[in-house]
């Protein structure tokens, strides 16, 4: 595995898993959020995000995480493995709550000059919690359809349904990679 994308619901642990895969296999890791979000939570100018994704996809080896549908036509031409964290909604919401609470109360800087705030995270119509609740079922259906599509027969899909299943899979990736993996 040299070109990997980790996808899944908000709060599922995409970034943590992708970073760990990168370390274990010696692959550069990119969090798509980090190139998408500009200061003050502004979206990038038209074409800029896609151009940056094209640069990543052109690389010989990489691991990325994120669900941006606009990145799929670019990345999935070259991706070898898509790791799908298909966790239950309540688990994702619990993990999202823990992560968001840590970020809000620590004031952790995210991408650009962005920080999560209590109001935006918990009280806004743009709340990631509402987004996850609204999109969970649809996202699952989308990835089921994409993984069964002949258009993507060249991609190995790894569907993981629990953190323990993910840990077992990650151990097998490390074992399969051998001692030079990092």
Q: What count of residues does the chain have?
A: 182
List all residues 6 or more positions away from 63 whose beta carbon is below 8 Å from its beta carbon. 3, 4, 5, 6, 18, 21, 22, 25, 27, 28, 29, 30
pLDDT score at 177: 58
Q: Give Cα separations from 48 to 52, 57, 77, 79, 105 (angstroms).
A: 6, 14, 19, 21, 32
Domain boundaries of the chain, sorted by first residue: 3-89+137-181
Give ∠ CA 55-148-96 in degrees, rounded to 5.
Answer: 65
Q: What is the pTM of this model?
A: 0.90
The DSSP code for 121 is: I
Token pair of 125, please?
């119509």
Name the superfamily (CATH) of residues 3-89+137-181: P-loop containing nucleotide triphosphate hydrolases (3.40.50.300)
| pLDDT tens profile 86-129 | 999 999 999 999 999 998 889 888 887 888 888 888 888 888 99
């Amino acid at each position: 595995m040299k070109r990997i994308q980790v996808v899944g619901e908000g709060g599922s642990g995409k970034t943590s898993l992708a970073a760990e895969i990168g370390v274990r296999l010696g692959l550069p890791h990119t969090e798509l959020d980090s190139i998408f979000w500009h200061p003050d939570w502004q979206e990038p100018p038209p074409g800029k995000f896609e151009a940056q994704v094209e640069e990543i996809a052109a690389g010989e080896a990489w691991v990325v995480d994120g669900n941006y549908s606009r990145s799929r036509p670019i990345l999935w031409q070259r991706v070898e493995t898509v790791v799908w964290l298909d966790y239950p909604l309540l688990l994702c919401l619990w993990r999202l709550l823990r992560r968001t609470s840590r970020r809000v109360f620590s004031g952790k800087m995210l991408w650009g000059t962005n920080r999560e705030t209590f109001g935006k995270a918990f009280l806004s119509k743009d709340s990631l919690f509402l987004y996850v609740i609204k999109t969970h079922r649809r996202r699952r259906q989308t990835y089921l359809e994409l993984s069964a599509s002949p258009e993507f027969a060249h991609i190995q899909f790894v569907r993981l349904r629990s953190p323990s299943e993910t840990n077992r899979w990650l151990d097998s990736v490390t074992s399969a990679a051998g001692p030079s993996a990092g």
